[in-house]
Amino acid sequence: MNNKTKNPSRISRRSVLKASGAVMAASILPGPARIFAAGSDKIRVGLIGCGGRGTGAGIIDCAATPGVELVAMGDIFQDHLDAAPAKIKKNLARKKLPVDDIYKVTPDKMFAGFNAYKKVIAADVDMVILTTPPYFRPQHLRAAVAAGKHVLVEKPIAVDPAGVRAFMQTAEEAKNKGLTVVAGTQMRRARHIMAFMDELHNGAIGNINGAQVMRQGGGMLTWRGTEAKRRPEWSDMEYQLKRWLFLAWLSGDFVVEQHVHNLDLLNWAMQSTPETCTAMGGRLARTGPEYGNIYDHMSAEFTYPGDVRVQYMGSQMEGTTSRNNLHFAGTKGSAYVDFAAAKIQGTRPFKYDGPRVDPKIQEYADMIEAIRTNKPINEGKQVADSTLTAIMVRMSAYTGRALKFDWCLKASQLDLSPAKLKFSDLEQRPVAIPGITKLI
C-alpha cells in the first residue's frame, strides 16, 4: 500500500489487494466484509484470448471461486470476440454459476487486434488470464508484469528457446514485485498425483533407475472445423492464426502444446530437468494442408542425472490405441501414475484412495487465495523448464540431432517469430526433415 495514504477510508480496492495480507486488510478497513479469506472482496479479471480455452475452462474455472468478476477481454479476431459473451454466459450457466454476478464486461471493455492484450491489461484489472496461442505468452506476460498484474499463464509458455528465456526473465521480475504467476500445468494440483510424488520423493521405490512416458491419442482432425478451409478474404497471417494448433511457430507442435503436461510430471518426479535428449518423429496421418507443418508422432530418449534413461512416446493419430501414463522403475519397487490413478508396488506399496479436487478449478482457487492473502505464488521457472523439455524433443526430432538441455537454454538462438505481426503475407514454413532442417 502507499505509505503516504493517511485516510484509511480512501484506500482503494486495488491497494488492498496489493497490501500485506488479510490481517493487515482487516486492521485498516472497517468491518469484516473486507477480510479476503472470506472471499468477499472482488477480484477483477481480464481475459486475453477468447477461444475455446478462454471462454470455457479458463474464465469458467476461475469463476468457480467466489468473488471473481470478469470485466475485460480481448482477442486478435473480432469474430471470436463477438462470439465470446454468449459462450461465456452459457458456460457459466451450465456450471450453475451466477452469470450476472460474474460477467461484468461492457462493450467498451472488449478489444480486438494484435494490441488487444495491452488494452485488457490497462482496463483496471487485478489479474489476467493468458489463453492466446503459446507463441504470444512471453510478450503478454511481460506486459502484464510491467503493469503490476497477477497472471494465470496457460501452458506451454513459449515455442522456442528465445521465448523461454524471455519468459523466465519476466517471471523473475514478477517474483521481485511480489506478483503471483500461476501456470496452467494443473495436474500438479491433482491430489492423487501430489500424494504419489510425496511417496516417490520419500523413497517408496528407492532410487529411480528408469522411466517411461506415454501419451497417444486422437488426431484433433475436427479442431475448429469451420476454419479449416481458408477463405479468400483471409491473409496468410489470419489463416495461420486461425489454425494455430497445427503451426509450429504458434503452438510449438503437439509435444509442446499438449504433452508438456506429461513431461512436467516427469520432471517433477525426477526432481530435475533432463540433461540430454535424442528424438525422432514424423508426419504420416495428418498430412493435409489444413494441418499445417507439425508432426503427428514423436519419440525420445532422455538422460537424467545419474545416467537415468527415460523413454517418451507420443502421437496424435486417429484409430490408434489411446494411452496416457507414466511408469517408474526403482531399486525397491515400481510406480504408475496417470491423470486419474496412482499406485506403487514393492517394499512400500501405495494406492491413492483419498479426496479429490478438480485441478483446473484448484489452480485458480490457489491463485486467488494467494492474491487475497498477499502470499505470492510463482510457478514461472517450473513451467519454463517443462516447456523447454518439450521444445527440446521437437528440436531434436525436427533436426535429427542429439541435444543438451543446457545448450537449448543458454545457447540456442532459435526464434520462430515472423518478421512482422500483421494481417499480411506470411509464407508457411515447410515440414521439418531430419538431417536437412538446421539446428539453430
For the chain, the domains span 8-187, 190-356+379-410
Q: Which of 37-46, 277-286, 303-312, 429-438 has the lowest mean pLDDT?
A: 37-46
- Using a 10 angstrom Cβ sphere, with 0-12 exposed, 13-18 middle and 19 or more buried, the burial of residue 222 is exposed
pLDDT tens sequence across 121-137: 999 999 999 999 999 99
Q: How confident is the model at residue 57 (pLDDT cuts 50, 70, 90)?
A: confident
pLDDT tens sequence across 201-213: 999 999 999 999 9
Q: Closest Cα to residue 265, out of 391, 137, 383?
A: 383
pLDDT at 435 over 80: yes
Q: How far apart are the first and last CA of the chain?
A: 46
pLDDT at 394 over 60: yes
Q: How confident is the model at residue 15 (pLDDT cuts 50, 70, 90)?
A: very low
Query: What CATH number has the domain spanning 8-187?
Result: 3.40.50.720
- In the Cβ-directed half-sphere of 359, how many Cα atoms lie within 13 Å? 16
Q: Can you tell me the distance from the alpha carbon of 123 to that of 118, in angstroms, rounded to the nearest whole number?
A: 9
Q: Can you tell me the distance from the alpha carbon of 390 to that of 253, in angstroms, rounded to the nearest whole number?
A: 9
pTM: 0.90
pLDDT at 154 over 90: yes
Query: What CATH number has the domain spanning 190-356+379-410?
Result: 3.30.360.10
pLDDT tens sequence across 249-293: 999 999 999 999 999 999 999 999 999 999 999 999 999 999 999
What's the mean pLDDT in 56-71?
A: 95
pLDDT tens sequence across 17-42: 333 333 333 322 333 233 333 344 89
What's the mean pLDDT in 346-365?
A: 96
